[in-house]
Chains A and B, each alone.
Chain A
Amino acid sequence: MQPNGENLLSATRIDKVFPGARALDKVDFHLRRGEVHALLGENGAGKSTLVKCLTGAYRRDGGTILLDGVEVDPRDTFNAQKLGIGTVYQEVNLLPNLSVAENLFLGRQPRRFGLVDVGAMNRQARALLDDYELDLDVTRALDSYSVAIQQVVAIARAVDLSGKVLILDEPTASLDAHEVEMLFRIVRRLKARGLGIVFITHFLEQVYEISDRITVLRNGQLVGTRETATLERRDLISMMIGRELAAEIRSAREGQVVAGPVRYRFENYGRKGHIAPFDLDIRAGEVVGIAGLLGSGRTETAEILFGAHRADSGMAEVDGRAVQLSSPRRAIAHRFGFCPEDRKTAGIVGDLSVRENIVLALQARRGWTRPLSRTEQNRIADHYIRALDIRTADREKPIRLLSGGNQQKAILARWLATEPEFLILDEPTRGIDVGAHAEIVRLIEGLREKGMSLMVISSEIEELVAYSTRIVVLRDRQHVAALEGNRITADQIIEAIASANERGAA
């Protein structure tokens, strides 16, 4: 640790008020030269808002910002970029319709005779991505690449833009361990170069691995800033949630698995180009964890089971009877539920209220002729807002105004409200804070104990180990292994994923 103590970026008494919510309340934040500064807090604490105020994406309502001791007032993100602040925002990625190179150099394309020099731009883009061990066709549209690759490109852009400050808002949420490692290497290098780096995440290990100092926000207020080395994890968590966390998050699985009868059977189930045909049995009271690298076909597996994509081979049985799962509706009729991983495009219905988002699936299943009364809707919504601790001013707030993690919880509530018998969760804990994280893990356990069948996709292997009764490992869009009983350990899973694995980075 060698931060030279000098403040690179100083924000004092930052205020931000949204209609109906005070997101930031006189928050101070100081970033030193050559440090990695973790910004932590629960969902909705105001982390993303603070970042956006710093980069001019939001107009702050009060407070001053000093960069290198000089007062600055970035009017917009372009302005911030010019000042040397590069940012990866939460949720928002890049422009899917532009090429990789254009995304990297948007607004600063190399020019010759006043015209964009496309050749030079593509060359520079390739050189830039070399650092990230990505060998892409940079002239292709960004949306022909996976979410993970897009995220890396976003990071590469931000890093390249950050002359002085690099801000990363949950950059690792959709990265695997290998990619996180790579990112950290780059962060350390930038740090050595004297940049200040702001790092937001809900993964505490990563915080301890990379950060020098930690600033914690709670309910829009500053709780405090500490040296990472001297802050106990336990203390950090109570700083974040304002109380002691009842139990350590990753308790080992207690008790023996109650193996009910096989309820769902898929045979030779698959879809060309999406996922190779696989066999899968799921019992009542079972949690099937799906492990695999990014792009290994986990989401595709979930989507095909739920009928979001039609299977083109094999057959499905529910309780011994053959069924057609050709659409989500059909699947829902058989009491399936599915929390998609991409909550912005496939999950939330942004302009509708939290209440409507929660009752949506239930109402859809009842059909339009049997509306839930307003009283009933309020009851359901209030119940889950309390049960899942969804932080919202009131249930009529449009869901898009909630913080990322709270949106995720509302979607979970949407499915729980339908009382499903088979629930598929794709990355349910992504972007969720420690407290809520533990709650969701507990919830999964509880649902299983009630006899529900679950399938959970997660990139956090520890977490999978915690609640899965069986683990299916995917590689290259194939189901390659299944682990059961005491074979469910992190090491075994990693070995199954890694064996004979070389990930073909496009």
Chain B
Amino acid sequence: TFGSASAADLVVGFSQIGSESGWRAAETTLTKQQAEERGIDLKFADAQQKQENQIKALRSFIAQGVNAILLAPVVATGWDEVLQEAKDAEIPVILLDRTVDASDDLYMTAVTSDLVHEGNVAGKWLADTVAGKPCNIVELQGTTGSSPAIDRKKGFEQALSGHDNLKIVRSQTGDFTRTKGKEVMESFLKAEDGGKNICALYAHNDDMAVGAIQAIKEAGLKPGTDILVVSIDAVPDIFQAMAAGEANATVELTPNMAGPAFDALAAFQKDGTKPPKWIQTESKLYTQADDPMKIYEAKKGLGY
């Protein structure tokens, strides 16, 4: 079609945060796939978790004169200056997966899920499931200070407010990793009377939940029954756990942020259509009722 023909000459720079988790690897893979399908020349830069590297990459993209920039910002603050530079150079910037604290005329659109909303969905599910029974919750936070950790905590707490039966009894960081998730869960179990006091686990990502599930099993309890497990991301491994009845629910964070972004970009290139400032991806809730094995098979190949 006409749209994709003009897209063929597009050079798009993509500043990715890093490769710290399976989810992010999947996002990178999907972005590359999407670009290839559309014939876009994607310039990829990995910032290794460092904002300074992202700013450098953006500056390089600008100096290189790319047609558009995708940015998955590692942190919300500190983007005004470089975004202004991009604007001065008339290069549209699309934010992926997280937003920034900058005036919204500095970027074209943001394709993100709502991190607070994700936490909220998880919290709502839990509130509905325990239905008024008293429930002690332990929380595995993401990396201290990272925006998903802060927002997913906030959203979850919002959902809990007004439900006096739900109480977060312990909250520690599991650094988004399986190992720490397991280690921290072990100490939660010890600290809460061998786990008898715990009714539910909320993990800021699936990896930590997978680690924690093992810890629960090793403590002689049944995850999913004795302790409810709800987490966020919807990576393939959690579906396996759900199929085995060891996890209860997960909130999807789709790794395909680039698709909508490229669509918006193509529309803008074609006739100058301005996309809305925020393209929100769906935060879909999956539970054991959703045929987890099938979803696992579907997601397996995506590079998680």
> Are chains A and B touching in the complex at the 8 Å CB cutoff?
no
Chain B residues proximal to chain A, CB less than 8 Å: none
